[in-house]
Structure 1
Amino acid sequence: MALGIICATKTEATPFIEKLVGGTTEHAALIDVHEGEFAGVHVVLACCGVGKTNAAMVSQMLIDRYGVDVLVNSGTAGGMDPSLDLFDIVVGSTFCHHDVDAQMVLVDSYPYYPGGVFDADPALIDAARAASEGFAAPVRFGAMVSGEQFIDDECRGDVIARHDPLAVDMESAAMAQTCFANGVAFVSVRGITDTAEHDGFGNYEINSTKASAIACDFTASLLKALAIRS
């Protein structure tokens, strides 16, 4: 198993880099790619940058250049379900683009995806469920959606009406689509930084460091659970 971890921002990646043991760093395609041991597992770690283009590009690079066949996305997200609170963990079970006409772009156009929703890998979900038992923060499993915008009250209702997701971000659906096309196992772990009650980019900035650290801790628990099952 060759395991990759991708974070979108430096804030999300820093807890991993601080805990990475040994290894090397390579600069490729404008980003730093770190190899080392995290949670007792050899990993390839990259910070891809914000947005779906960056996410897809770096996912493909880790698959092609580093032979990654399991990819975990860790970071932060906005809470869409009203039951979510700040710093809860959301593990994505399905992923889709909220800003793409999936039927036209994905299903009816080459290379003809079977649908516009991409599933997390069942073995990674099983490991995440095991990791959630006794974890310090609440852990929820469900739909995640991605788009090239920060979601606040102005557009929250439209995204909920069309997709009813647990959480929203700017990268995970692109990573899930890339992994689907390459036959690579994928899951996303996100700490909640903002909700309908705690809305706005200001809350994201205030809460992103803590939410990123919690997501990193949960990712470590997930990898330990996965190693036990391997």
Structure 2
Amino acid sequence: MRIAIITGVQTEADAFMPGTYDRLEQHGGLSIRFVSCATHDVAISCCGVGKVNAAMAATLLAAVHQTELLMIIGTAGKLGSLAGDCFIIHEAVQGDYGAQRSDGFVHYTAGAWPIGPAEVTAFFARPLPDIGLPQARIVTGDAFIECPDHSLRLRDGLAGDLVDMETGAVAQVATRLGLPWSAIKATTDDANGESVSDFDANLLAASRRAARAAEQAIHRM
């Protein structure tokens, strides 16, 4: 299978099969490292932070690599009390897509017409092999969450377990392109007032957890 792996931060990309490559390519501002993992051809790239970067990278990799599976790995903040520190993502929604009204923000399914009755339908991931990790629903938005009140709104309003800045965009691109997608995320922080220091302290270890889990999953495909 031809798999494209996307991360938002370079540390996350470097943690996957570190130091290994069959070749390196540069496409515009996107550096791509190609590796062989089990029987699969894998292209891995750090897209940079945020939904636009993630969507651009997913679209480019789908074309350049003739991708059969889009995968995003790396780190996330935790919104609730779900046990564990590394998760297989089974659903993704976007937490900043919708309508801003006088009585507050109303969420809609990403890409849907944000007028009329509100509904949020998740993007559903392709199931990964069982590697002993719990599943989680992730909320994606173009903001790093440092506010516990906003964290609660995302948890309660969108049934989110985790929050990040890329997964929902990759999921939306994959859906539009008719490709399956999957994701593995390890947590660095609790999306609260300590998020910045916790993210900095835990980035490397969490990146390694997610990367090792992705390697295990790919080996079992």
Any idea what SS the aligned residue of 2:168 has?
helix
Aligned to 1:211: 206
Residue in 1 aligned with 2:103? Answer: none
Q: Structure 1, unaligned stretches of length 5 or more?
A: 133-138
Q: How does 1:17-28 map to 2 (within 5 A)?
A: 18-20=18-20, 22-28=21-27
Q: Which moved more, 1:193-202 or 1:89-98?
A: 193-202
Give CA-to-partner distance per residue, 1:38-61, whole Å, 9 cap, x none.
355321111100000000000000
Structure 1: how far apart are the matches of 2:109 and 2:191? 31
Displacement of 1:140 after TM fit? Answer: 1.8
Distance in structure 1 (CA, Å) of the matches to 2:110 and 2:181? 22
1:108-130 Cα deviation digits (max 9, x unpaired): 27xxxx96421001xxx241xx2
- Superposed CA RMSD in Å reads 2.1
The equivalent residue for 1:180 is: 175
CA contact (8 A) 2:79 2:152 kept: no
Q: CA deviation at 1:29?
A: 2.2
Alpha-carbon separation, structure 2, partners of 1:198 and 1:210 = 21
For 2:45 and 2:122, the matched residues in 1 are separated by 25
Structure 1 position 161, deviation (Å): 2.0
Per the normalisation by structure 1, the TM-score is 0.83
Q: Is the 8 A contact 1:106 1:116 kept in 2?
A: no
Deviation at 1:150, TM superposition (A): 1.1
Show CA shifts across 1:157-206 (max 9, x none). Answer: 21112112110000000000000011111111011101268832110110
What is aligned with 1:135?
none
Q: Trace 1:76-87 onto structure 2 (pairs within 5 A).
A: 76-84=75-83
Partner of 1:93: 90
Match 2:144 to one of 146, 150, 153? 150
Residue in 2 that maps onto 1:3:
3
User: What is the count of residue pairs matched by the alignment?
Assistant: 208
Give, in whole Å, the separation in 2 of the partners of 1:90 and 1:166: 10
Between the two proteins, what is the percent identity of the paired residues? 24
Q: Does 1:60 align with 2:63?
A: no
- 2:190 is equivalent to residue 223 of structure 1: no
- Deviation per CA, 1:75-122, whole angstroms, max 9, x where unpaired? 00001122345xx1121111110000164862227xxxx96421001x
In the other structure, the counterpart of 1:31 is 30
Partner of 2:131: 131
Residues 225/25 of structure 1: CA separation in 2 closer, same or farther (3 Å cut):
same
- TM-score normalised to structure 2 length: 0.86
Match of residue 46 from structure 2: 47
Contact 2:151–2:192 (8 Å) recurs in 1: no
Unmatched 5+ residue regions in structure 2? 99-106
The worse-fitting range, judged by mean Cα deviation, of 46-55 and 96-105 is: 96-105
